[in-house]
């Protein structure tokens, strides 16, 4: 079965492709000739994930899944949330986003936050939603060199290190995206077996 992962992020694509069942031919937006930057105009992570999956299904008539992820900081009433990637501007610069968030939290001791990933899958005319959440806190400074985005300042609960300090295998086993992807894989395997 051919399945589109609606992303232009090659690193994310390769990471997910490695864990897909062999019966699934996973392809990216580039693989299907889609060069569009699909607008994320939704008000929630779920709406944005659905928008991207629906765009591919409508324009390319292929089964597709898409994800959207946000960092939600309690004291900031859930910000940066759906604006996580462009928190410091449309350039989507991770360093700028981190600096802005750390500046906003300066002097604040309550730093609880969570990462949330929502995956929207369009398959056989039906839409399915999968969700992964990991609780944690924002550190006061950057630590670690692995990962991307806010990983250097996010320390998951029950861990002594940030996502950027954890080995990738451990991060993927406890991360928001990892949890959502596992739900997707469980669903796809059941669908393929059934």
Distances in Å between the Cα of 124 and the Cα atoms of 48, 63, 97, 194 are 20, 7, 38, 14
Beta strands 2-5 and 64-73, pairing class: parallel
3-state SS class at 159: coil
Beta strands 126-138 and 64-73, pairing class: unpaired
| 67 part of the active site | no
Phi, psi of 74 (to 5 degrees): -55, -55
Rounded CA-CA distance 170/71 in Å is 19
3-state SS class at 18: coil
Q: Which of 68, 74, 96, 193 is catalytic?
A: 68
Contact by Cβ (8 Å): 139, 118: no
What sign results for the dihedral spanned by CA atoms 161, 68, 81, 87?
positive
Which residues, at least 6 apart from 12, have a Cβ–Cβ distance to it below 8 Å? none
Active site residues: 68
């Amino acid at each position: 079965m051919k399945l589109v992962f609606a992303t232009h992020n090659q690193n994310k694509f390769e990471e997910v492709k490695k864990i897909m069942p062999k019966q699934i031919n996973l392809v990216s937006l580039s693989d299907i000739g889609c060069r569009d930057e699909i607008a994320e105009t939704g008000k929630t992570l779920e709406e944005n994930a659905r928008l991207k999956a629906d765009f591919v299904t409508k324009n390319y008539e292929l089964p597709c899944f898409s994800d959207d992820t946000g960092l939600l900081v309690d004291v900031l009433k859930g910000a940066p949330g759906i604006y996580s990637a462009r928190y410091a501007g449309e350039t989507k610069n991770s360093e700028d986003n981190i600096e802005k968030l750390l500046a906003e939290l300066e002097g604040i001791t309550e730093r609880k936050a969570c990462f949330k990933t929502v995956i929207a899958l369009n398959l056989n005319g039906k839409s399915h939603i999968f969700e992964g959440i990991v609780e944690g806190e924002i550190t006061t400074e950057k630590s670690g060199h692995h990962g991307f985005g806010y990983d250097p300042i996010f320390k998951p609960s029950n861990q002594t290190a940030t996502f950027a300090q954890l080995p990738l295998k451990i991060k993927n086993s406890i991360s928001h995206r990892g949890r959502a992807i596992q739900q997707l894989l469980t669903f796809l395997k059941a669908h393929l077996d059934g």
